[in-house]
Structure 1
Amino acid sequence: MRVAVVGTGRMGAAMAARVAGAGHDLTVWNRTPAKAEGLGGPVAGTAREAVADADVVVVSLADDAAVRAAYGGPDGLVAGLGPEQVVVDTSTVAPETVRALAGDVAATGAALLDTPVSGSVPSVESGTILVMAGGDADALERARPALESFAERIILLGPVGAGATMKLAVNAMVFGLNQTLAESLVLAERAGVDREQAYEVIASSAVAAPFVHYKRAAFADPGSAPVAFALDLVAKDLDLAAALAAEVGAEVPQLATNRGVVGDAIAAGRGGEDLSALAEHLRGG
């Protein structure tokens, strides 16, 4: 299968490497070309060139603005699409954004699926990430070989926009867990319990979700762990979830509380730090 990957940040690069490792014919594009090199396929000069001959296009970009920019214009990916191609967008964006882009893609004869993921870069690297899909079932089947190169499970949730909706709901819960984990760890420390021992108990308790395990190094030794999910992006996702909640009339008081704490941490200069840095923020460090 010929696969193009558009966007090679941390997640996109890991996806591209898995696609190439599965034996697919890979082409990549990134706004900064140097970040797209060495992933197992040639680097295209434009998004349009990258997708022109692809069976499946995997998109992984930071936010709504970056997604719209990559799709639009004479060098954008929509300009390079044609019949029977499938675009699977793993970006975390507003459902309305992906629904609007689906119309642009459909006008070329191609199909767009919103396929955001739940998990981390190591989950992609091990091929165990979850895909939450919205869109046409037949298009999903055509794209499945590419998705299965890095995903363990793919759940089709409904029409285009359903995947984006579920991703915001899941992330709201993940960020709530992150907040609670930070608070509980700092509470135990302040009361005299060793940080490593406290984390061992948390990781062995009823709240030991996968997130608790794969964030252990980041919480235990904040200075040594790389940034996996910056607080600036956490704020973006929480704002998207809040907007969706307002649109559908859902009460989300915990989300509002978490957004306030994240905002405080960003105001203190931690926007570029990993979401686990909330613990350091609460320590006053």
Structure 2
Amino acid sequence: MIGLGNMGAAIAERLLDAGYALVVHNRSPEKAVALEPRGAIVAGTAEELAAQADVVLTSLADDDALESVAAKVLDAARPGTVLVDVSTVSPDASARVASRAEAAQVAYLRAPVSGNPGVVRAGNLTFIVSGAREALEKVEPVLLAIGPTVHHVGQEEQARVVKLAINLMIGLLAQSMSEALVLGEGSGVSRAALLEVMGSSAVGAPFVKYKTDALLRDDYSATFTMSLMEKDIDLALRAAEHAGVQLPLAEQLEGHLRAAIDAGYADDDFIALFQFLRQRVQLDQEVVP
């Protein structure tokens, strides 16, 4: 396992709990060392890790990180190794990794995930996978030790697009929830009452129920930051441009996310869109003569 951020560390813990012999590497070594008491073997470099692993999982922040780490892994990996990347990155960067993997005789699975660290630790993570089905069959037991659901959606970069589409829907849902709550509170409806009705209505998606408690407590500690959501919406817009389609709501959402980041919400959970909108309403009211 390479990349021990919030998601990568949770995935590593699941694999260790399942009894896998796990080698870990992270750019900040203290995160890897923290897993040693649980049985992980720490590799000093990505190359050292790749040389001794049959399956290499990567959980990385962005395109540049994936391409840099993948180059090191593919230089050292043995033919027949399977590289499984669970990051959310662009289809273009992923395709470049695929080309290098083919040249290195390494099978490559794009396997972005739906869920957050709490979902991982609860054993409920969903994988969205594209790549050779034979490679998936080889590593599926590993994936199922992490989470129970694996969707195979194609042979090439389809999984990347599906993940971006899902995150686009989540981002738009967060924006629409935030606007609905601002409307409700501004009209004298209690936040608790509106969230309760939302949760039991036709729009009561799991996401609504999942975010209800945090919204009631004004708890915007991040499960997925505003900055990461903005990055993913930007990736979705770039993918849309490549596909020759328009995403007008995504364009507006990106503008809202950037404004919230500029207002100081970059490291807060993206549901802080509500707090940002509420703050703007209060500021507007203060300047009304």
- What's the TM-score bracket when you normalise by the shorter of the two chains? over 0.9
Runs of 4+ with deviation above 6 angstroms: none
Aligned to 2:24: 28
Q: Look up the equivalent residue of 1:244 and give its one-letter code.
A: A
TM-score (norm 1): 0.93
Are 1:139 and 2:135 counterparts? yes
* Counterparts of 2:215 and 2:156, CA distance in 1: 36
State the SS of the aligned residue for 1:77: helix
Q: Aligned-pair distance for 1:134?
A: 0.8
Larger Rg: 2
* Counterparts of 2:191 and 2:32, CA distance in 1: 38
Aligned to 2:284: none
* Counterparts of 2:208 and 2:116, CA distance in 1: 12
Q: Aligned-pair distance for 1:226?
A: 2.6
Q: Look up the equivalent residue of 1:59 and give its one-letter code.
A: T
Q: Identity, % of aligned pairs?
A: 39
Q: 1:175 aligns with which of 167, 171, 174?
A: 171
Q: Look up the equivalent residue of 2:274 and give its one-letter code.
A: A
Contact 1:8 1:60 in 2 (8 A): yes
Are 1:195 and 2:191 counterparts? yes
Q: Look up the equivalent residue of 1:241 and give its one-letter code.
A: A
Q: Which range is displaced more, 190-199 or 124-133?
A: 190-199
Structure 2 residue ranges without an equivalent (≥5):
281-289
Structure 1 residue ranges without an equivalent (≥5):
none
Q: Look up the equivalent residue of 1:55 and give its one-letter code.
A: D
Q: In the TM superposition, what are the counterparts of 1:57-136 in structure 2 within 5 Å?
A: 57-72=56-71, 76-136=72-132
Aligned to 1:248: 243
Contact 2:56 2:84 in 1 (8 A): yes
Q: Aligned-pair distance for 1:201?
A: 1.8
Q: Greater share of helix residues, 1 or 2? A: 2
Q: Which range is displaced more, 185-194 or 163-172?
A: 185-194
The CA RMSD measured in Å over matched residues stands at 1.4
Aligned to 1:229: 224
Q: 1:205 aligns with which of 183, 201, 220?
A: 201
State the SS of the aligned residue for 1:88: strand
Contact 1:133 1:163 in 2 (8 A): yes
* Counterparts of 2:221 and 2:262, CA distance in 1: 21
* Counterparts of 1:189 and 1:256, CA distance in 2: 27
State the SS of the aligned residue for 2:83: strand
Aligned to 2:154: 158
Distance 1:193 1:243, change over 3 A: same
TM-score (norm 2): 0.92
Q: Aligned-pair distance for 1:120?
A: 1.9
Aligned to 1:11: 7
Q: Aligned-pair distance for 1:143?
A: 1.0
Q: Aligned-pair distance for 1:99?
A: 1.2
Aligned residues: 277
Contact 2:129 2:152 in 1 (8 A): yes
